[in-house]
Amino acid sequence: MGKRTQVFTADQVGQAAEVLRSGGLLAFATETVYGLGADARDGTAVAAVYAAKGRPAFNPLIVHLADLATAERYAVFSPLARKLAAAFWPGPLSMVLPVRRDAGLSSLVTAGLETVALRVPAHAGARGLLAEFDGPVAAPSANPSGGISPTQVDHVLAGLDGRIDGILSGGACGVGVESTILLVEGHVSLLRAGGVSVENIETVLGTTLARPEDPSTPKSPGQLASHYAPNAALRMNATGIGAGEVLIGFGPTKGAELNLSPTGDANEAAANLFHMLRRADEIAGAAGKTIAVAPVPLQGLGLAINDRLSRAAADRG
């Protein structure tokens, strides 16, 4: 961005929320760590989160919300999910739930899956921001990918100064480790240990949690290659369209029925990726065709785009 990131004080929450409304990136304190927030409905803003972090793959992001009522706009809550929300929200617990069809969330937030991870944080500053914004905020940790998670404003600035628009100062984070993530289906599985102990969760449920090492337990969303595979076969790095193919272009692409970004903008392509794959799969399925995707340079978010495309193109044996 070429300029220093603006730091907002706690009483400037209105100005901080405006950063999110305008499609900008805002770091903010939660009780766990500082998150790097973007409007979860704005695919371009979400793509900018990945770009700022240098995140190598499009893993699903946790969506932060002001309260349970707001959360229910975006996911389907079972009685079991409501029981967990009543016990641990607001707090450092994230739940992976079926996404509502009319949620309006960017497919980049869900990584193209039919589920979404939601959390209602307990930090007073985060709750004030979320109430002021009155919408879903996608927020991974506010640090370069692979770095140590930030628990103070200085930590955020050390990694992201000039790469994001603002930081809402909220002091030091009290918990200091990321939220616990649960997959809530007919049963509850632990996807990531974190700020709420397994013992406390099991006490509320009255049963033991399935663990990630159990063969029957799904891995964390975003880790299974098959989750990204369309029904139709996919060919990467297509420099032309073959017989019986639906071509997804990047930049000026002759014969492309769909285009990730006509101008060759990787951020725009990232924002469109999962939607375009779904649309191409619908077209291909109806016509008995396969999918081809034009080359996307291995730079910036192009690395993450190619990571997802390689999973989609993998041999399903």
- pTM metric for this prediction: 0.83
CA–CA distance, 203 with 136 (Å, rounded to integer): 30
247 SS3 class = strand
Alpha helices (H) in 206-300, listed in sequence order: 266-287
The per-residue pLDDT for range 175-226, each reduced to its tens digit, is: 877 899 999 988 899 988 889 988 999 999 999 998 765 544 444 443 445 4
User: Where do the domains of the chain lie, and which CATH numbers do they carry?
Assistant: 6-205 (3.90.870.10), 225-313 (3.40.50.11030)
For the stretch 40-88, pLDDT in tens is: 999 999 999 999 998 877 888 999 999 999 999 999 999 999 999 999 9
